[in-house]
Structure 1
Amino acid sequence: MSAQGKQQVPDGGNALRLSRIVLPVLVLALGLIVWELVVRLNDIQPYVLPGPVLVFKTLIGDWDVLWQSLLTTLLTTLEGFIAASVGGIALALLFNQSKLLEYSLFPYAVILQVTPVIAIAPLLLIYLPQQTAVVVCAWIVAFFPVLSNTTLGLNSVDRNLAGLFQLYGASRLQALRLLKLPSALPYILGGLRIAGGLSLIGAVVAEIAAGTAGAGSGLAYRIAESGYRLNIPRMFAALLLLSLAGIVIYGLLALISHLALRRWHESALGKES
């Protein structure tokens, strides 16, 4: 009985993992089929609602234009994400070393986060070069999750371990490097996962506010342009690319987090079992 029980647990776990993959794919396929049938049976015009087949054909036919726009948006997203990651982690380290600095500046970080970026973008476009303003918008949206998560992680160190380091006469730099940073790593990686998607959102919002055309325009402009021209299939194709880009960004950051934590942290060890 015990041997059979041991064999049933992995089988059940494999079935559960398989269902997590298969069920979303089935739901997606069913949704696309229903969508296509609704469009065809009701003879809905493409400028009202294109079917998924037409959207896919438009994606292939307009690939050159959409691909260049996607690269522009991804470059802005990457620049904003890097700036938010470096700035958020660095400022959180300073906050951890100086509570006076944290009490003085953290409220302004909160204000920056809760102010809608769509309201800030037009002002930035007045005072900054266009590309710089777009990157700053992406940075504003992605900055706070990195800062708050890193600050929380650095402040959540086990008091017994902190006392042990103090007992052995460790310096503040040693405690930070050997205790606080490793303990805060899951929080930091969690903040980076959130910031990756938010930097894409910030880039899209800034591109829409900028309203630029030409070779340097991103996917957000292509969506707005397609709406003005009633080219709804291209609008859906651009939106599909944006969604896929966000999924890929989150997936890459989740993979990096898993690889960094899989050998020692409970959140990753649970996925291995």
Structure 2
Amino acid sequence: MTSQTATTNRSKLVVESSITDKKKARGKVKGTIIGPVIALVIFLSLWQSIPIVFDIKPFILPKPTDVLQAAMDDWHLLWPAIQITVTESIIGFVISAIVGIGISILLASSRILEVSLYPYAVILQTIPVVAIAPIIVIWFGSGFNSIVIISFLIGFFPVVSNTLMGLNSVDKNMGDLFTLYNASKWQTMWKLRIPAAMPYMMSGLKISCTLAIVGAITGEFIAGIGGGRGGLGYAITVAAVQLKTPYLFACAIAGAIFGIGFYLLVSSISRFMLKSWHESAMKVEK
């Protein structure tokens, strides 16, 4: 009887502990959601009040309601612009991810290649995009192709930098173990170095996805072709020239919302790939 009682008590403790953990998890989720919502409400309230109190004209500082109204009135222009920028950004990001990871693996496989080529990747990143964008337009023409290339160039370096760091940060003992079992260079790369670099790689992709959007919008300022084929960057330029400040704000906010959504999507993919084995994602899951 004593043994049965002890077993029953342990079962109750396990159940109570599980219930407590679930309550704590719900509390964390609520805290994570409620805090930003309250901050957003306060920010929007202040933004709505300041132009009214100080009698600021809408073409200088529009109210949130003015921005919303402008977005609704010009939705037939805003929605196609969003679609174009989204397409350019995603293509630029995918190319930067594929090329960046491929070049990182190539550089990590040879110390001579890394020392010889990596400095040029750094130099490419330090050149202002406004300086190289006109050259890209001359080479590839204005429009979609040039904008995608600019987006790729801006999002490329974080992928290379972070992935290469991860590939070169493998645990020495694990490397010695692979050497002990006579693993080839490429077996070590695919079965040890690339899996170990995954957290670094995903971190680089999270940075790159936001920079790709910045690159696409920046490219549209310089290489946008306008009309029904212009993205958010072109729409912002036109709105600024015409002093349509509420619509300008609407375009900028649309770009920001897309950037947040894209970042959250890449972060979700990162957690899905890392949650079963890496501490950083496991802590988030808890």
- Do they fold alike, i.e. is TM over 0.5? yes
For residues 62 and 139 of structure 1, what CA distance do their matches in structure 2 show? 30
How many angstroms does 1:8 deviate by? 6.5
1:91 pairs with 2:109 = no
**Code of the aligned partner of 2:63:** G
| 1:63-95 superposed Cα distances (whole Å, 9 cap, x missing partner) | 121110111111111121111111111111111
**SS of equivalent residue, structure 1 residue 215:** helix
How many angstroms does 1:7 deviate by? 7.3
Which residue of the other structure, out of 206, 209, 212, is the alignment partner of 1:196? 209
Aligned 1:1-273 pairs, distance under 5 A? 11-12=23-24, 14-130=26-142, 131-273=144-286
For residues 95 and 113 of structure 2, what CA distance do their matches in structure 1 show? 20
Q: Is the 8 A contact 2:96 2:152 kept in 1?
A: yes
| 1:84-127 superposed Cα distances (whole Å, 9 cap, x missing partner) | 11111111111111111111110000001111112111121122
Alignment root-mean-square deviation, CA? 2.0
For residues 272 and 76 of structure 1, what CA distance do their matches in structure 2 show? 32
**Code of the aligned partner of 1:108:** Y
**Code of the aligned partner of 1:47:** F
1:182–1:61 CA distance, 2 compared to 1 (3 A): same
**SS of equivalent residue, structure 2 residue 217:** helix
For residues 174 and 6 of structure 1, what CA distance do their matches in structure 2 show? 42
For residues 105 and 132 of structure 1, what CA distance do their matches in structure 2 show? 26
For residues 12 and 66 of structure 1, what CA distance do their matches in structure 2 show? 42
For residues 79 and 119 of structure 2, what CA distance do their matches in structure 1 show? 40
For residues 108 and 151 of structure 2, what CA distance do their matches in structure 1 show? 25
Gaps of 5+ in 1: none
Provide TM-score, normalisation by structure 2. Answer: 0.90
How many angstroms does 1:40 deviate by? 2.2
How many angstroms does 1:34 deviate by? 1.5
| 1:180-201 superposed Cα distances (whole Å, 9 cap, x missing partner) | 1111111111111110000111
For residues 126 and 174 of structure 1, what CA distance do their matches in structure 2 show? 43
How many angstroms does 1:22 deviate by? 0.7
**Code of the aligned partner of 1:268:** A
1:76–1:211 CA distance, 2 compared to 1 (3 A): closer
For residues 212 and 168 of structure 2, what CA distance do their matches in structure 1 show? 25
For residues 212 and 92 of structure 1, what CA distance do their matches in structure 2 show? 34
How many angstroms does 1:166 deviate by? 0.9
Q: % of aligned pairs identical?
A: 37
How many angstroms does 1:41 deviate by? 2.9
**SS of equivalent residue, structure 2 residue 228:** coil
Gaps of 5+ in 2: 1-14
Deviates more, 1:4-13 or 1:191-200: 4-13
